[in-house]
Amino acid sequence: MTNRQLAAAETRKKLLEAGKKLICKKGLSNTSIEEITDAAGVSKGTFYTYFNRKEDIVFELSRSMFGEILEGAKAFEGDFIAKLCDYMVNFSGYIEQGSVRLSQEWVKSVVNPDLVENEFDRGKLPYYLSSVHELIIFGVEQGMLKRDVPARQLAEILVDLLYGEMLCWNMSGGTYSLRERTQDFCDGYLQVLLKKYMIEQEDAR
């Protein structure tokens, strides 16, 4: 890689890191491109060398952020329900931080993937399915879930629930907390949904 390419990669990294910090703190709608470039120490015009709009930063960050959410859920203390709840709540929390407008765009890209340009956005739904499926398989391998759990079917149900909650939140215009609504669902229904697939600690010994 040439010095010019290295410098370009470093500038892009600075913009992503600055965008992530500001957007997570203030939300997408309350963060301006100028704030991002100021925090990154580059000119406003430089932003458009790497991104077309500030939403592109969120899409780019999603590649790593949802991976971090998955790994965080695996490492979360507690049984499988606690781990799954951690994943779902943090998933919804990240969506909420990005703003209703961005969430609406995400749902639109899933419903009509031909409208979006990059591969990640077109493949978001399969990616999320794969992530939840991976978490379920992890639960089986750790002796928390029975081996006959219908992992793929369960992953589809859980992602359907997440997207259903996201859609309702979009339709409400963000009048309530998506993160809190997901937490309420986890507290009230995950135990019922997963009870027959769970391995009790006594059985695991």
Query: What are the structural domain ranges in the chain?
Result: 1-51, 53-204
Band of residue 202 on the pLDDT scale cut at 50, 70, 90: very low
Q: What is the CATH number of domain 53-204?
A: 1.10.357.10
Count of beta carbons in the 10 Å neighbourhood of residue 106: 23
1-51 and 53-204 in the same fold: no
Distance CA 116, CA 100 (A): 18
Topology classification of domain 1-51: Arc Repressor Mutant, subunit A (1.10.10)
Percent of the chain's residues with pLDDT above 90: 55
- Residue-wise pLDDT for 154-181, tens only, equals 999 999 999 899 989 999 999 999 999 9
Predicted pLDDT at 70: 94
Closest CA to 73 of 93, 91, 97: 91
pLDDT at 12: 92
Range scoring the smallest mean pLDDT among 42-46, 88-92, 104-108: 104-108
* CA 55/CA 32 separation, integer angstroms: 11
Identify which has the larger pLDDT, 115 or 27.
Answer: 27
**How far, in Å, CA of 38 to CA of 117, rounded?**
28
Average confidence score pLDDT of the chain: 86
Higher-confidence residue: 90 or 52? 90
Instruction: State the pLDDT at residue 204.
Output: 46
Weakest mean pLDDT among 28-32, 81-85, 181-185: 28-32
Instruction: Give the confidence band of 123 by pLDDT, cuts at 50, 70, 90.
Output: low
Neighbours of 148 (CB within 10 A): 9
Residue 120 pLDDT greater than 60, yes or no: no
Q: What is the pLDDT of residue 18?
A: 92
In the predicted model, what is the mean pLDDT of residues 84-110? 82
